[in-house]
Each structure stands twice: as structure tokens, then as C-alpha cells.
Amino acid sequence: MSDDFASPEDEDRTPYITWDDVDRIEAPGRVTVKGRSFQVEQAHIDVWKDHPRGAWSLREVRTNGSQWVLSSFYQTRDNV
């Protein structure tokens, strides 16, 4: 997980997932990174293929237990 996308004011320390964090996954599936399990969909992979240096923010969703989901995509300046 990367903190490279977080601003210094980011108090809640949002985790960011890069394509390298998930070993450049090529097919949708469930992965675990630093104890946080989440589903990677084809749409996430497609965005990474277009912007391989970007990252998805990882957000906790509370239902009957904690679950994690990839939510917003952030690009590096190199991707713009």
C-alpha cells in the first residue's frame, strides 16, 4: 500500500492500492494486501492498464463485519 497519494493533511491515513501492490493482477479476483481483503474488478484493472502508476483508494465498508472496497482512482503527474 502506498502513502504517496496522501496529502499531509490526510488525518485518516487513507490507504492507496497500486497495481504493483496486487502483483499487476490481470483477471478480476479477491486479493489481500496488509491484512485487508478486497475485490479487484475488471474495471479497476482496465484503469490501471491505462494509468499504471495510479492508485485506487481503499475504503472500509461496515456491514455485518468490516469489508474493504476500491473506491476512487488517483493519477500521478506522470499519468496526466
pLDDT tens for each residue of 19-60 = 999 999 999 999 999 999 999 999 999 999 999 999 999 999
- Residue whose grid cell is 476500491: 70
pTM of the complete model = 0.79
pLDDT value, residue 8:
45
In a domain, 3, yes or no: no
Q: How many domains does the chain have?
A: 1
In a domain, 65, yes or no: yes
pLDDT value, residue 13:
81
76 pLDDT tier (thresholds 50, 70, 90): confident
In a domain, 32, yes or no: yes
In a domain, 8, yes or no: no
The continuous run of DSSP H or E covering 61 comes out as strand 55-62
pLDDT value, residue 12:
62
Q: What is the DSSP string of 16-44?
A: EEETGGGTT--S-EEEEETTEEEEEPHHH
Structural domain of 73:
16-79
Q: What is the mean pLDDT of residues 1-29?
A: 78
